[in-house]
């Protein structure tokens, strides 16, 4: 039993293979957090201390006990207004205008299997892989009932949390702020690690001390955003890549979110993950409920590597769905950087013929095939095939591509509308904008109100009509602006940001049901919606609009802290690179793109015969290592923000095969030698470099490392493949 309840002391213990999470209901009915970390035995209640603290008040039913204060005690789901002055997990505005909530324990239930969430993505597991704890708390005066859900995946060292807020009173209430997870850590000195960025430069690593005060990252953009990823780490001061205690919090949601880390007056650290409280006031009428998206928690006692490995497995096995979540993905060529808007059906057929010759599996027709869309100023929302531009019907084009022996994929941006489009001219009220105000334009487009079912249904029908025209096996689902001017004709305004995201999920769910074999790649100007929520619907996401192999080293490094390579869209593009003007070798571009769902983003016609040969070899190489790359364990071997080289490795689960990848970031006269240390090998086993034949002990490769060649040239890349030798020689 992963979840244990001890009736005598009202103690809940959640055990995974390596971790323990513990909480208890105290004499006053409050649900207190006791411990989360490396696995321990026994009750951790002794950690709670009670002192009379000035200016930290006492609940009425504590009587004369001035040592009992919610301002100091660690809690599972702290509410605002009732004596805890720290950042709250839940803020409720009552019908009388007061902001107050006082939740006490009512009951609990332990169930086999993992809970699911209505309308929201969530980790899933077989009934024998997970258990669920549901704890019900209530504020009878305010008429608020909260269900806290804990999902425990014992073998995977994963604990998920989610909550439902229900109005059980007769008056309306309003949810002003709600988190799904609160981690109240009684002791320890922590750093807060987050992943910030911007369009075309996402997920940079940032580590700051969790000092007194409250640090917050989040998004008010309607999507999870390029600017901050909804996944963070709380690391003990001395935790490193390979050692020390750290906690991960990954939000399974694709809209506005907020993560706060606060060190309180007594040095205790609180971390909250939930919906952003700005642009959000969710009214609940009598009987109505709001579900708060899930947070995936994980603790590692072995540094960030341990944390990442667990998240990678969890996302691959328990979040991505569908045929492709466990199958090789097609190597694709995308028309975007090859032709932008300037293509015809013949261009796509030519790409397909070239693809067939090179060994590429699929051609993707990107933006520009519909409506009046020859640049990015018009046409979005008019999902009618521009047969004049293509020179044939879509069905005919797909047939021709398939006849060349290549699969066909297509780009869509269902949530968007151009002002210059027929659909906007007919239904201006379908766009998110405030009556009487001129909306902010971004890329000259507006956002469709996906919180409205009628709007979604219209777009869904249009998209299905497109997909039904031929054998379309892949869709790239884009979303190319942040949301502003939030307003919906159909609902209370404070609901729109949340209902919009649920509308997107609803659309995606319907699409998956109707086309179960379709591979959907998520995208939002590259990685602007690169989150665990989207991964439930789209098992891969275009990682960044920046295809420069050198910038990608950092972007993919940051991405790797939570997300497995099997979900990271990564392509070889032309040089000079279109985003940076930098030129690096085809080999280096290939090595970097192989740390993802491999593909191409260039026009093969511009390549020399030699380059085409190299691409053929590159694809053969990817195919050879594909299983190792996509389902092996991924190890970061250097920090590309700091080190001379960027290095990473894939190690098969049985530790028989190892693929080492290195890109040299620095070159100087009389260059020093870089030694790369491998990880995750069997120390006593012998591994042979399959190219040179040299054999090394795993311990040597891990402890002393392997010298990288000193060679002239910028950004040279090396790929070394090792196999475990059966007999020690
Ligand atoms: C976004 C995507 C690109 C491309 C363009 C098309 O920027 O990230 O890959 O699809 O849109 O407009």
The predicted model gives 708-713 an average pLDDT of 96
Work out the pLDDT band at 717, boundaries 50, 70, 90. very high
- Residues with catalytic annotation? 531, 611
Is 693's pLDDT higher than 80? yes
Q: Beta strand pairing status for 31-38 and 540-542?
A: unpaired
Among 520, 524, 515, smallest CA distance to 536 is for 520
Q: Average pLDDT, whole number, for the chain?
A: 98
Ligand 1 pocket member 368 (CB < 6 A): no
Alpha-carbon distances of 385 from 203, 338, 446, 483, 689, rounded to whole Å: 36, 20, 21, 27, 52
The predicted model gives 355-360 an average pLDDT of 98
Centroid of ligand 1 to alpha carbon of 253 (angstroms): 22
What's the CA gap between 167 and 232, in Å, rounded? 31
What's the CA gap between 249 and 285, in Å, rounded? 31
What's the CA gap between 114 and 126, in Å, rounded? 7
What's the CA gap between 214 and 261, in Å, rounded? 6
Ligand 1 pocket member 411 (CB < 6 A): yes
Is 211's pLDDT higher than 60? yes
Is 454's pLDDT higher than 70? yes
Ligand 1 pocket member 543 (CB < 6 A): no
Centroid of ligand 1 to alpha carbon of 413 (angstroms): 9
Centroid of ligand 1 to alpha carbon of 376 (angstroms): 10
Q: Beta strand pairing status for 158-167 and 289-300?
A: antiparallel
The predicted model gives 535-554 an average pLDDT of 98
pLDDT confidence of residue 726: 83
523, 527, 552, best to mutate for ligand 1 pocket (most atoms within 8 Å of CB): 523
Q: Return the residue whose CA atom lies nearest to atom 1 of ligand 1.
A: 525
The predicted model gives 201-229 an average pLDDT of 98
pLDDT confidence of residue 573: 98
Ligand 1 pocket member 477 (CB < 6 A): no
Ligand 1 pocket member 480 (CB < 6 A): yes
Burial (0-12, 13-18, 19+ Cβ within 10 Å), 249: buried
The predicted model gives 429-446 an average pLDDT of 98
Is 729's pLDDT higher than 60? no
Residues 432/387, Cβ–Cβ less than 8 Å = no
pLDDT confidence of residue 251: 99
Ligand 1 pocket member 545 (CB < 6 A): yes
Q: Return the residue whose CA atom lies nearest to atom 6 of ligand 1.
A: 367
- pTM tops 0.85, yes or no: yes
pLDDT confidence of residue 326: 86
Q: Return the residue whose CA atom lies nearest to atom 12 of ligand 1.
A: 367
Centroid of ligand 1 to alpha carbon of 559 (angstroms): 19
The predicted model gives 403-413 an average pLDDT of 98
Is 286's pLDDT higher than 60? yes
Ligand 1 pocket member 542 (CB < 6 A): yes
Q: Return the residue whose CA atom lies nearest to atom 2 of ligand 1.
A: 525
Ligand 1 pocket member 367 (CB < 6 A): yes
Ligand 1 pocket member 370 (CB < 6 A): no
pLDDT confidence of residue 490: 82
Taking only the tens place, the pLDDT of each residue in 16-29 is 999 999 999 999 99
Centroid of ligand 1 to alpha carbon of 460 (angstroms): 21
Centroid of ligand 1 to alpha carbon of 473 (angstroms): 19
Is 247's pLDDT higher than 60? yes
What's the CA gap between 690 and 684, in Å, rounded? 19
Atom of ligand 1 nearest to the CA of 601: 9
Atom of ligand 1 nearest to the CA of 376: 12
Ligand 1 pocket member 521 (CB < 6 A): no
Neighbours of 430 (CB within 10 A): 22
Taking only the tens place, the pLDDT of each residue in 363-384 is 999 999 999 999 999 999 999 9
Report residue 96 as tokens.
């009388």
Centroid of ligand 1 to alpha carbon of 538 (angstroms): 16
pLDDT confidence of residue 727: 64
Residues 583/658, Cβ–Cβ less than 8 Å = no
The predicted model gives 45-71 an average pLDDT of 97
Report residue 551 as tokens.
């910038």
The predicted model gives 317-331 an average pLDDT of 94
Centroid of ligand 1 to alpha carbon of 563 (angstroms): 21
CA dihedral 78, 81, 85, 86 (to 10 degrees): 30
- Between the two ends of the chain, the Cα-to-Cα distance in Å is 45
Ligand 1 pocket member 478 (CB < 6 A): yes
């Amino acid at each position: 039993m992963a979840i244990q309840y001890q009736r005598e002391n009202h103690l809940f213990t959640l055990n995974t293979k390596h971790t323990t999470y513990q909480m208890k209901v105290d004499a006053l009915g409050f649900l207190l957090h006791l411990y989360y970390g490396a696995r321990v035995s026994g009750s951790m209640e002794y950690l709670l201390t009670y002192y009379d603290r000035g200016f930290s008040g006492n609940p009425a039913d504590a009587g004369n006990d001035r040592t009992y204060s919610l301002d100091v005690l660690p809690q599972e789901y702290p509410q605002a207004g009732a004596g805890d002055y720290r950042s709250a997990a839940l803020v409720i505005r009552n019908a009388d205008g007061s902001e107050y909530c006082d939740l006490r324990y009512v009951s609990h239930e332990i169930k086999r299997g993992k809970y699911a969430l209505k309308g929201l993505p969530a980790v899933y597991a077989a009934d024998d892989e997970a258990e669920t704890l549901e704890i019900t708390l209530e504020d009878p005066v305010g008429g608020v009932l909260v269900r806290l859900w804990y999902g425990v995946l014992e073998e995977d060292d994963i604990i998920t949390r989610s909550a439902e807020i229900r109005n059980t009173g007769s008056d309306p209430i309003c949810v002003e702020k709600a988190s799904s997870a609160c981690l109240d850590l009684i002791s320890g000195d922590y750093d807060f690690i987050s992943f910030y960025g911007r369009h075309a430069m996402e997920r940079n690593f940032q580590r700051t001390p969790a000092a007194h005060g409250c640090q917050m990252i989040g998004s008010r953009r309607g999507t999870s955003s390029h600017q901050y990823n909804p996944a963070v780490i709380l690391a003990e001061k001395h935790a490193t890549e390979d050692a020390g205690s750290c906690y991960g919090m990954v939000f399974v949601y694709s809209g506005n979110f907020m993560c706060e880390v606060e060190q309180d007056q007594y040095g205790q650290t609180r971390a909250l993950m939930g919906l952003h409280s700005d642009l959000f006031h969710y009214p609940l009428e009598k009987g109505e409920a709001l579900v708060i998206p899930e947070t995936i928690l994980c603790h590692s006692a072995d540094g960030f590597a341990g944390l990442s490995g667990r998240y990678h497995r969890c996302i691959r096995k328990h979040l991505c769905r569908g045929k492709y979540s466990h199958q090789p993905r097609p190597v694709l060529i995308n028309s975007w950087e090859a032709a932008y808007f300037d293509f015809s059906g013949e261009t796509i057929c030519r790409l397909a013929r070239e693809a067939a010759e090179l060994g590429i599996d699929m051609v993707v027709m990107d933006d520009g095939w519909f409506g009046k869309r020859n640049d990015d100023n018009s046409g979005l929302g008019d999902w009618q095939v521009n047969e004049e531009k293509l020179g044939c019907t879509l069905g005919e084009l797909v047939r021709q591509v398939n006849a060349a022996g290549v699969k066909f994929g297509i780009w869509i941006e269902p949530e968007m509308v151009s002002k210059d489009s027929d659909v906007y001219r007919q239904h201006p009220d379908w766009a998110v904008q405030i009556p009487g105000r001129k909306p902010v334009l971004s890329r000259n487009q507006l956002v469709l109100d996906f919180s409205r079912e009628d709007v979604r249904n219209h777009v869904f029908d249009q998209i299905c009509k497109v997909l039904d025209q031929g054998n379309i096996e892949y869709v790239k689902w884009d979303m190319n602006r942040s949301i502003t001017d939030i307003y919906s004709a159909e609902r209370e305004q404070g609901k729109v940001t949340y209902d919009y995201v649920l509308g997107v999920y609803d659309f995606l769910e319907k699409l998956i049901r109707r086309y179960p074999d379709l591979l959907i790649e998520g995208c939002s100007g590259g990685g602007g919606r690169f989150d665990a929520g989207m991964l439930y619907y789209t098992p891969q996401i275009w990682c960044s609009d920046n295809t420069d192999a050198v910038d990608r080293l950092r972007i993919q490094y940051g991405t790797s802290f939570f997300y497995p390579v099997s979900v990271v869209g990564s392509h070889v593009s032309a040089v000079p690179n279109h985003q940076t003007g930098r030129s690096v070798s085809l080999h280096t571009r290939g090595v970097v793109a192989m740390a993802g769902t491999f593909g191409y983003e260039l026009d093969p016609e511009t390549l020399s015969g030699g380059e085409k040969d190299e691409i053929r070899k590159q694809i053969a190489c990817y195919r050879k290592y594909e299983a190792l790359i996509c389902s092996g364990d991924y190890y970061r071997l250097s920090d590309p923000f700091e080190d001379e080289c960027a290095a990473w490795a894939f190690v098969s689960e049985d530790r028989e095969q190892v693929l080492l990848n290195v890109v040299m970031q620095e070159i100087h006269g009389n260059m020093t030698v870089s030694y790369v240390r491998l990880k995750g090998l069997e120390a006593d086993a012998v591994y042979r470099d399959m190219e040179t034949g040299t054999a090394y002990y795993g311990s040597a490769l891990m402890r002393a490392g392997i010298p990288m060649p000193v060679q002239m040239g910028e950004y040279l890349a090396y790929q070394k493949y090792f196999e475990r030798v059966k007999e020690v020689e």
